[in-house]
Structure 1
């Protein structure tokens, strides 16, 4: 299933760029048959090939593999990549919450931070 999505996205990106399978194959160093097999889901790319294709189209490998629908290289991961995975989910849920709920959660976070700062001051 993943490589069917990969094939469809590869074909779509190639067509959006207005290039044929032959031209794409030539520009990236593949055979036209190899490109056709990828697009039809008959062949799976290795990591280096996947990265090469993502770089060519300036999209993320996650997008090519169907793990996200956002083709942009830089997603919401900037802050999340620095967090524990469980906290990342927590912060993502905050981001997706309604604005009034986000404000409540910000206030709660400020209370937690101020208590932490106060406790740190008590220990010194």
Structure 2
């Protein structure tokens, strides 16, 4: 049994889902999920991505490249600088949105 097949089965059981439920979420049959778990069928890249997204893990984890199942968050401040990150958090603030909407209305009128 491959690392991929073991991890599909482990993640499915951890999420307490049947093969039917996983197949339905991915647009695949129960038989396809079963064959992935048994190592009888090799997944294509789309299936790997779908499974990783469904189980909220990285495709590297699914393939056994890493044992870390957590997806690392990207720190935007490293890419864009602190000022831009601070501005982004300001725009995401729910208290700011009404003021932004008002500014758009005032601009349009």
- Classify the TM-score, shorter chain: 0.5 to 0.7
Question: Under a length normalisation based on structure 1, what TM-score does the superposition of the two structures give?
Answer: 0.57
1:11 to 6, 9, 13: 9
**Structure 1: gaps (5+ residues):** 79-124
Q: CA deviation at 1:72?
A: 1.2
Whole-Å separation in 1 of the counterparts to 2:47 and 2:57: 14
> How large is the Cα RMSD of the aligned pairs?
2.0
State the SS of the aligned residue for 2:57.
Answer: coil
Q: CA deviation at 1:44?
A: 0.8
Whole-Å separation in 1 of the counterparts to 2:6 and 2:23: 16
In structure 2, what is the equivalent of residue 42 of structure 1? 40
**Structure 2: gaps (5+ residues):** 76-109
In structure 2, what is the equivalent of residue 52 of structure 1? 50
Question: Under a length normalisation based on structure 2, what TM-score does the superposition of the two structures give?
Answer: 0.64
Count residues with an aligned counterpart: 76
